[in-house]
């Protein structure tokens, strides 16, 4: 039984109580300091374009209400993500818009004891798009290619990858929670070359945020996109269709699969690569089924 919490009725009676907290002025003061840093360029960015100052003070706070209030994300197995050193987080991808990547970033930053930053790998399309591409880089995303992945892993970063890619995010609602093909296993070779463990991650809930019931292929071709989603609310309700449905989310981090014992040479052995790819895929699929059984309904 948890200990009863003592709630002081009149804090000024307690001699140890801190002086009355004027919370808002500290916040305003911090915001002003942030504005000064931004206007004068007095902040650091890394060679991938990651801007921790912007991420911590604007992007993550903007995502937090979605994380805790809207999707009420519950995390499991955070202990499976190592506190330090490089690791490759491999997750299922869904939801028409890669919201799952953003929620996983918030989960690992806010709830992991070591406040780990998830460095995502994104498709080249992301970096071609104006605004979105620049914003993605500032959040720490970089191009999904082996060179970048290996460099991040060697630098001891936690790298997040969605091997399904557009096949996963843009799949119809009827195929929800079935994993798509896992590309060519490029992520496994990156892990093998750097000896980084692979952490399989299953995300449940993202499939229902924008249930894609159709794909306007002509519109997609015209806009140069891999798919153009039609959901029950989009484009029917216009901008209102951009509001995601408030599904209940679970993010489960599975036990790490170590790769160091294979040695870096194994990256050139297709058999090892395919076996590991399948192992990761199966693990994620099983955890998806397990989480789906645990979930009482889509929205609670």
Q: Which residues bind other proteins (CB under 8 A)?
A: 9-10, 12-13, 20, 22, 24-25, 28-29, 32-33, 35-36, 38-43, 45-49, 51, 124, 127-134, 137-138, 142-143, 145, 147-148, 151
Tokens linked to 102: 């953003």
CB of 36 to other proteins, least distance (A): 4
Of the two residues 38 and 295, which places its CB atom closer to other proteins in the complex?
38
Helix axes 146-154, 186-194, angle to 10 degrees: 30
Q: Is the Cβ–Cβ distance between 124 and 130 less than 8 Å?
A: no
Alpha-carbon gap, residue 211 to 229, rounded angstroms: 9
CB of 233 to other proteins, least distance (A): 27
Nearest to 160 by CA among 89, 75, 101, 83: 89
CB of 44 to other proteins, least distance (A): 8
CB of 149 to other proteins, least distance (A): 9
Burial grade of 97 (CB within 10 A; 0-12, 13-18, 19 or more): middle
The residue with tokens 């140890």 is: 16
Of the two residues 28 and 62, which places its CB atom closer to other proteins in the complex?
28
- The strand pairing partners of 198, in sequence order, are 88, 257
Of the two residues 1 and 9, which places its CB atom closer to other proteins in the complex?
9
CB of 189 to other proteins, least distance (A): 15
Distances (CA, A) of 152 to 19, 114, 124: 45, 18, 17
CB of 177 to other proteins, least distance (A): 31
Of the two residues 38 and 290, which places its CB atom closer to other proteins in the complex?
38
Q: Is the Cβ–Cβ distance between 126 and 141 less than 8 Å?
A: yes
Burial grade of 18 (CB within 10 A; 0-12, 13-18, 19 or more): exposed
Of the two residues 3 and 25, which places its CB atom closer to other proteins in the complex?
25
Q: Is the Cβ–Cβ distance between 75 and 251 less than 8 Å?
A: yes
Signed CA dihedral, 72, 73, 76, 78: sign only: negative
Of the two residues 134 and 236, which places its CB atom closer to other proteins in the complex?
134
Of the two residues 1 and 7, which places its CB atom closer to other proteins in the complex?
7
CB of 250 to other proteins, least distance (A): 32
């Amino acid at each position: 039984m948890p200990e009863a919490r003592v709630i002081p009725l009149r804090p000024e009676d307690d001699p140890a109580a801190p002086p009355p907290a004027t919370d808002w002025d500290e916040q305003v003061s911090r915001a002003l300091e942030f504005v000064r840093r931004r206007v004068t360029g007095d902040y650091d960015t890394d060679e991938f374009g990651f801007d921790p100052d912007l991420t911590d003070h604007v992007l993550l706070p903007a995502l937090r209400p979605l994380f805790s209030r809207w999707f009420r994300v519950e995390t499991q197995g955070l202990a499976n993500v190592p506190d330090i050193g490089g690791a490759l987080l491999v997750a299922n991808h869904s939801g028409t818009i890669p919201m799952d990547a953003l929620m996983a970033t918030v989960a690992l930053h806010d709830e992991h004891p070591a406040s780990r930053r998830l460095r995502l790998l994104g498709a080249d399309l992301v970096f071609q798009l104006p605004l979105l591409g620049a914003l993605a880089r500032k959040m720490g995303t970089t191009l999904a290619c082996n060179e970048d992945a290996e460099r991040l892993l060697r630098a001891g970063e936690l790298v997040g990858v969605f091997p399904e890619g557009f096949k996963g995010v843009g799949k119809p609602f009827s195929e929800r929670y079935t994993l798509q093909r896992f590309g060519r296993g490029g992520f496994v070779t990156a892990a093998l070359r750097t000896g980084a463990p692979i952490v399989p991650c299953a995300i449940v809930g993202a499939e229902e945020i924008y249930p894609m019931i159709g794909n306007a292929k002509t519109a997609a071709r015209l806009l140069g996109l891999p798919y153009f989603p039609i959901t029950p609310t989009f484009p029917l309700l216009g901008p209102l269709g951009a509001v995601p449905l408030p599904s209940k989310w679970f993010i489960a981090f599975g036990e790490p699969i170590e790769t160091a014992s294979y040695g870096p040479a194994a990256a050139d052995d297709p058999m090892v690569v395919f076996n590991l790819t399948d192992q990761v895929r199966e693990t994620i699929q099983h955890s998806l089924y397990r989480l789906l059984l645990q979930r009482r309904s889509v929205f609670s």
